Structure 1
Amino acid sequence: MGVAIRTAGEGDRELVVRLLDEAFQDDPVSGWVFPGEEYRRRTHHRLMAAFTDVVLADGRIDLTEDGAACALWLSVPAQEQAGDDSDDVPAQVREAVDPENERVELVARLTEGIHPTGRAHEYLWMIGVTPARQGEGLGTALVGSVLDRCDREGLPAYLEASSGRSRELYERLGFAFTGQALDLPDGPRMWPMWREPRTTPTV
C-alpha cells in the first residue's frame, strides 16, 4: 500500500509543530536540550516551531496526507553549511525558544560544526512520526521519496541520527556513518550520516 505524500504549506504549520513536538518528546537529544519532563512539555514545542518556520521559509516539508508524519528537508549548496548566512540563527532560535537555555543554541552550533561542506546535498533536518503510528513505514516512505529523486539527480544526502534506532533505519536506506560522532556535553551521541546517490544522472 502506497503512502500519499504532499508538500506542506503555511496552513499546515500548526499541524507540523504539533506532530514534531509529539514525535520528539522522548528523543534523547530533545531530553538533553530540555531536561525534565515538565519543562520539556512546556517548552519543547517552541523549538519545533522555530525549526518549522526555518524550513517553511528556506526548504521543504513533506507531509503524509493523513497528517501522521512529516520530514523537513533543506537543499544545501556546495561550499556552504546548513544555516550558514549573515544572521546568527542559533542565537536567534535560543532567544525565541528560551533565552535562559544555552543548550538550544549549543546543539545548533555543534551540528553546524560537523556539517559536511564541498558538495551540494539534500539535508534531512528532522523526520517525525506520531507515536501511535511509528513502525508502520511512514518515515521510510517519506525519506524514500526524496532519496529516489537524489538518485535520479546524482545528489548525495545527509542527516544526523539522534538515536541508535534511527541510525539503523537510515543504514537500511543507504546512509553510512561518517566516522565522526557528535557527543553532546554530558549528553547523548549523535551520528552524522552520508548517503551517496545510487545511480548516476544521465547526460
Structure 2
Amino acid sequence: MGVAIRTAGEGDRDLVVRLLDEAFQDDPVSSWIFPGATYRRTTHSKLMAAFTDVVLAEGRIDVTEDGTACALWLSVPAADPADAHADDGEAAQVREAVDPDNERVELIARLTAEIHPSDRAHAYLWMIGVAPGHQGKGLGTGLIAATLDRCDREGLPAYLEASNARSRGLYERLGFEFTGRALDLPDGPRMWPMWREPR
C-alpha cells in the first residue's frame, strides 16, 4: 500500500511542529538536549519550530495526506560548509530563540555540522517524525522511499544522522550505510551518520 504524500507549505507549520514535538519526545537525543520530561514538554516544541522554519525557508517538507508523518529535507551542494543551517551564528541564534540557558541546543548543531560530509552534493534527511499512534505502519518508510526514488533517478546521494538503534535499522533497510564515525554526545547517547549512494 502506497503512502499519499504532499509538500508542506507555510499553512502546515503548526502541524509539522506538533508532529515533530510528539514524535521526538522520547528520542534519546531530544532527551539529552532537554533532560527531564516536564522541561522537555514545555521547551522541546520551540526547537522543533526553529527546525521547521529553517526547512520551510531553505528545503522541503513532505507530509502524509492524513497529517500523521513528515520528513524534513535539505539539498546540500558540494563544497558548501557542512550542514550550513548549523553554522556558528545560526546555532547561537537558535539557542537564543529556543532556550538561551541551554548550551546543548547550540552544541548539537555544532557537533552534527562537524561530522556532516561536504565534499559531494546530497539530499539531507534532517528529521522524520511519525505521530506516536501511527508508528510502525510504514509511513516513515514511504516518506523516505519517495525521495530516495527521486535521488536514484537524479544520481544523488542521501545523508542522515540516526538518533537511535531502531531508526538505524530502518535506514539500513533503505540502503543507508553507517559512515564509520559515530557521534557520541557528551554524557549522552550515540548518533550514527549514514550515507546512501544512488542506485
Structure 1-normalised TM-score? Answer: 0.96
Amino acid at match of 1:160: E
Identity of aligned residues (%): 78
Deviations 1:126-167 (A, max 9, x none): 000000000000000000000000000000000000000000
Question: What corresponds to 1:185 in structure 2?
Answer: 186
Amino acid at match of 2:54: V
1:123, CA displacement in angstroms? 0.1
Alpha-carbon distance change, 20 to 84 in structure 1, aligned in 2, over 3 angstroms: closer
Question: What corresponds to 1:27 in structure 2?
Answer: 27
Deviations 1:105-132 (A, max 9, x none): 0000000000001100000000000000
Amino acid at match of 1:23: A
Amino acid at match of 2:197: E
The 8 Å contact of residues 21 and 45 in structure 2, kept in 1 or not, is answered as yes
Question: What corresponds to 1:46 in structure 2?
Answer: 46
Question: What corresponds to 2:74 in structure 1?
Answer: 74
Whole-angstrom CA distance in 2 between matches of 1:190 and 1:86 = 19
1:85, CA displacement in angstroms? 8.4
Amino acid at match of 1:47: L
SS of aligned partner of 2:84: coil
Whole-angstrom CA distance in 1 between matches of 2:92 and 2:192 = 23
The 8 Å contact of residues 29 and 163 in structure 2, kept in 1 or not, is answered as yes
1:20, CA displacement in angstroms? 0.3
Whole-angstrom CA distance in 1 between matches of 2:65 and 2:84 = 28
The 8 Å contact of residues 159 and 196 in structure 2, kept in 1 or not, is answered as yes
SS of aligned partner of 1:88: helix
Q: CA RMSD in A?
A: 1.1
Deviations 1:168-198 (A, max 9, x none): 0000000000000000000000000000001
Gaps (5+ residues) in structure 1? 199-203
SS of aligned partner of 2:61: strand
Amino acid at match of 2:15: L
Runs (4+) off by over 3 Å: 84-87
1:84, CA displacement in angstroms? 5.6
Whole-angstrom CA distance in 2 between matches of 1:180 and 1:136 = 30
Deviations 1:83-110 (A, max 9, x none): 2688711101100100000000000000
Structure 2-normalised TM-score? Answer: 0.98
Whole-angstrom CA distance in 1 between matches of 2:101 and 2:181 = 30
Question: What corresponds to 1:3 in structure 2?
Answer: 3
Alpha-carbon distance change, 104 to 87 in structure 1, aligned in 2, over 3 angstroms: closer
Whole-angstrom CA distance in 2 between matches of 1:98 and 1:123 = 25
The 8 Å contact of residues 183 and 193 in structure 2, kept in 1 or not, is answered as yes
Total equivalences in the alignment: 198
Question: What corresponds to 1:13 in structure 2?
Answer: 13
Amino acid at match of 1:51: F
Whole-angstrom CA distance in 1 between matches of 2:85 and 2:103 = 20
Question: Which region of structure 1 is more displaced relative to structure 2, 87-96 or 18-27?
Answer: 87-96
Alpha-carbon distance change, 66 to 77 in structure 1, aligned in 2, over 3 angstroms: same
1:82, CA displacement in angstroms? 1.7
